[in-house]
Structures are given as C-alpha cells and as structure tokens.
Structure 1
C-alpha cells in the first residue's frame, strides 16, 4: 500500500508541474475550464489529483491537461506517465483492471485539440442536450400559453353591460336604427303593451349571469387565496464548513477523504499539530446557523487514537474519539453561536512522534433555521 501511495504522489508531482507551467490557475478556474472542455472535474477531485490523495482516471487527467492549456509534448508525456503509473497500480491491485487507458489515437486527438485551442481556432462547445431540451420545452409552453389566451377570448367575449340582461349597443348603431325606424314600428312602440314582455329576462339574464359568476369569481378566489393567506414555509439551508474561511488554522486541507468505508467529497483534514499534538481551528458563524453535523475519523498507525473536540464561543460542547476502524457521527446544536472551534488531539501527545497522520472531518455541514 505504501508503494501505491508513492506512485500516486509521483504522478501528482508531475501534475503540479503541468499546473504551474499552465499559469497555476485556481481550483475554481480549473473546474470551470474542465466543464468547457466537455468533462467536468470538481474542485475536490482536482485537489486530490494535485496532492496525490487519489489516482485520477484518464478522463479526469485529459480534462486537467486541457484546462491548463498545455502543449502537445506535455500532453504526450502526461499520457505516458499515466500509463506507467496505472500499470504499476494494477499490478498491486490498487487500480481496477477495467480502468480505460488512452490509446495512441486518443492522445493524437488530444494533441490536435490543444494545438487548435492554443491557436484560438477551437470552435465553441455546442450546447449540451439538457440545455437544448430546456429551450425546447420553454418554446412549447409559450405556444400553449398563447393558444390558451386565444381559446379564452373566443369562448368568453368581453361584454359591457348596461344592466341585468342587456347588451349595450354603440351610439352610431343606435342612431342608425332610430333614423330608419318604420312608422308602424314607431306607433307600436308608442302604444303600451297589455303585458310586459319577459323575453329579455329569461333569454339573456340567465345565460350571462351564470357564465360570468362561476367562471370568474371562483377562479380568482381559488388562485389568490392560497398564495396570500398561506405563505410557503422556508426550508432549512445547508452550507459546507469548507466554504467558510477559517479565522485560524494549522495544517488544514480541503477535499475528498475516505473513512469508515465511505467517501466524503467535501471534507476537512489536518495533521498531528505543532504543539503537544494539538490542532485548533476557529470559524465565525455569526449566529446564522442552528446545527452542525459531520462524521469524524483518522488515518494513521495501528492502534492510533484521535480525539475530536468542539467549542462554542470558548465553551466545550463535547469530544469524540475515533480510530482507523471506528468513525463517529456528530450532530450538535449551534443556535446563537458566534465562533465555532474545532480541535484535534493525538492520544500520543508527542509532537515529535504522532501516531495519527490525518484527522478527518467528513463533509462538515452547517444548517440554517427552517
């Protein structure tokens, strides 16, 4: 196992040289560039690659080479070193036999792409299928919305009402009818009818009144009432501790770590410490969170024991011990806490001889109030 780690670290040293030669872009910049290159590699994975924590796949290595804007010779040398390291790791059963290796044609294509990119001739990456699908769905929804408006206007014409059961006629039309009214009709109009005509009331009033009342009033009531009277309850928000900047730190690192048989991609870890095997790290919470959760474990010699501690504004919350084979889950209340302090102690207590290589806080997460 020690030889496998040395192989990984040797390849990581070469990747750091490529990184420096490419202008030493930040992990955030590298992550964005790998997305543009067509194969996204997270910041934590990039950190693991550069620090030799985990041997990268060829796809990750290829995306890294593109992100550093390396030249063709550097790409060929990287592929050669990757093949040699992968072969040695497979011999030690530290790498899956199914791990895909780059062919000569793959490397030639990579060299050509790098040459085009350095010359500024590489075409922009086309939109991904999810983006195309989202645009298509949006266009379909717009068309359906427009069709709905047309259907509504066709089935529910807007009417101006003079009174119950009467349709208002335009002034020009009324004047025209008056000018062309026949004498007989005028005479009939002047003579009162023995009984009032109920034709308007049964024919228009029942048809208009029900159509307006059920179609408009209930729909408005149902659509507005829930949004005004019952606002949605805010959901709890989560924030990784690795996203905060520590106020003090010794040998703090961030990235992916494996403890207890599980991978934690956004972990924090530190070494034995420089004073009595103790490491202390402070974070400002500004009373914005109410819970802190993490899984803790160690890497080190057989029989090594590490102690993890938490303090809230200087007061101890608790302490937990972990070994190479036993991890501990932590879930504590941090409501109103201004400053959270993480401490680790090697049971050996001797800074010159530490039995714990790394104290690992697996995916430490802060939760806001819901």
Structure 2
C-alpha cells in the first residue's frame, strides 16, 4: 500500500492515470489492477495564512498476472562504490519479502540462459519457481502480444511531475480573508491595475520571497479581521449572485460553493470583496494618511514617531543569527530598518514607537517611498 498527500489537481490526474493503466492491463489480458481511494483533508498553511485543501490518496493493488505467471518486481542494476547493487520496485500487492535480494544476478536471464549488459530485469513466479527474465526476453517468455502493462507504482508517477509537489489549493474562506485584507490595506485593484488584488493574494498565499514574508506580516492584522468577516462575506455575496443571469456572477457563485479554489478561480473570488462592499455599503477602513516621501538625507540622524506595520524576524548576516525587520508609518513617510537590537524583538505590528537612526538609503516598496535607517535606537 502506498499513501501520498496530493493537491486536488494531482489527485484528479492520478485517478485518470490509474484508470488508463488498468484499462491497458485488461486489454492485454492481465489480471491484477490498481485501486485508488482518497480522503479530502484541510490543513493549516505552513506560512501561517489560512487553510489549504489536500487529498490523502491511498494506492493498493493486486500483482499483475498472465497465464499462470505473476510479476513480482522490476530490478534495475546500479553501480555503487560497493559494486553493483539493485533497485527493487515491487508490483502492486506484492509482499516485498518474496524478493530475495541475495539471489539477484546482474544482467542474467533465466529464459535465454545468457548474461549480458542489461539495464533492467524482471522477476516472475508461477507459485513455485522465481525466474529472473530480461526485459527484452519477457516478450519471448510470455509472447509478444502480452508485454506487461504495468510493473510497479512508479508507473503511476509518470506523466504529472511527481507527487506532492504541486501548488496547494486554498479554501474559499482563506482567499476571502486575504482578499479582504489586501483591499483594506491597499484598496481594490482590478486585473488591469498596477497592483491587482489577485496578485497580492497570490503573493501572500504562495510567495516564498523575502518581500512576500514582509507582505504577510504587514497584512496580518487585516487578515485576522478578514477571517472573522469571511463567513458573512461568503453568505451575503452568494445570496446575491446564486441566481444571477450575469455570467461573471454565476461563476462567482460556483466558486463560493466550491470545496476549494481552482487554479483559475482566484481572480474571480477576489472580486467578492468589492461586491460585498457594494451590497452592504462598507468602505475601506480609514487610516491616518501617510505622506509618500523620503525622510532626511543620506547620513543624516533623524528621529521619527509612528505606528509599526511590520515586525518580522528574518535571517541575519551571520549563519544561524536573526534580525528584525521593522516598518514604521509616520506622518512624514515610511521608515524601514533591519536590526538585532533587543527592543526590536519586543515590539509588534500596531505598536506606537519613537526611533532614532541614521538614514542609510532611500528605497521604494510597492511604489511607495521608504527611508532605510541603520543603528536604530528606541526612545
């Protein structure tokens, strides 16, 4: 039995793959088949934002048989420092203890009685005798029309890039919460805007860059609010669009009812936020206006007072060390600093602070000006 954690898309591909293998096996007269079952599970995201949907897939099977012979395993010879060793891949349903590794012989075939450079051999048994047969000789051994339709569970992996490596699918509630946070913080961005809300949501959910982690930290307070709002947003918007004659709203209704968000559904679902705002008359949360300007000149010592929007622990310059990324919104502009100072580990998003530091450079982030400070000290 083999068990993997798959994304819904991977599971669907696996179902199709197994069906094709079983069909091919039956067409060639083999008994034995794969059986695939799956259980949908929801897990917390590793990056801490929302929940994702996976499928716990279990693959079982019976050994493929033909004309009284059962396929036990495919054997690949591998040259190692210790000499020739063997990769053994058993057929579905085969007890691995039936394969005696000590009896394996490099390049040998019991059918033709010759030993030569063979990349792969197969083990077959009639219930009494176990034969090692070359991959080419298996055609003569069983007949040219009865080539094995499948040998091992690796056959299932072929064709869709490995198992467990696809992009996870987020729950509807997760996407609603993050889209709500993005709109609250940056305003609504359509597909054709400079910063589409869809892209902000994608960076938060799936981004692995340093700036994506910074964005998650910046939006964290709004995401918490979005998680509380998500059920009401979903219910309100769904009640409005469920019987809509508009094509876009009909698609939105489908995704709102979905078990998880399909790959092509994130942009549509993000639009639930402006639809909700229109229905209930809400507005973007009012925040203190921040001037889009740099503060001071390079090398100048400045003192600023404002609210922390990002407080995130990141890797330091030395191996195994850490620093704190702190972003502060002030009436004069946005300030950013990386520091290992003790005070930076005691503050969090939303705290009001006064900091003195030296202007290192003038930077930009998401088209907003930021002043980078070094040697920051908290007043």
The reply to whether TM is greater than 0.5 is no
Larger Rg: 1
**Structure 1 or 2: more helix by fraction:** 1
**Structure 1 or 2: more strand by fraction:** 2
Between 1 and 2, higher relative CO (CA 8 Å, sep ≥ 6) is seen in 1
